[in-house]
Amino acid sequence: MTIYEYYIVYPEGESQELEVPLRIDQLVDLNGRPLKLPLPSPRTIAYRVVKIRHTEERGVHASYHYVELVPAQELISYC
């Protein structure tokens, strides 16, 4: 039996478990939930998935989703 685990890794190095996997370039909120477009405001705190790393050990498949903070000026195009 294989267990699948998903994690978000913030720029500061902290990580948090996710419920669902993410895609590269996907915008997510502070808790790693995908954001719905259009955004309500360019002042929304948003992260972009920039890298995904997979590891497998003894029946546990873990995916680490690395994110970067998206500047407010760039978020204007998503509003």
Helical segments of the chain, H only: 72-75
Q: What angle do CA 63, 4, 6 make, to 5 degrees?
A: 35
Query: How is residue 62 written in tokens?
Result: 């873990």
The reported pLDDT for the residue numbered 36 is 93
Which amino acid is it at 5?
A: E
Quote the number of domains for the chain.
1
Give the pLDDT confidence of 39-75 residue by residue, as tens digits: 988 889 999 999 999 999 999 999 999 999 999 899 9
Host domain of residue 33: 3-78
**What is the C-alpha to C-alpha distance for residues 36 and 65, in angstroms, rounded to an integer?**
19
Q: What angle do CA 48, 52, 58 make, to 5 degrees?
A: 145
8 Å CB contact between 24 and 50: yes
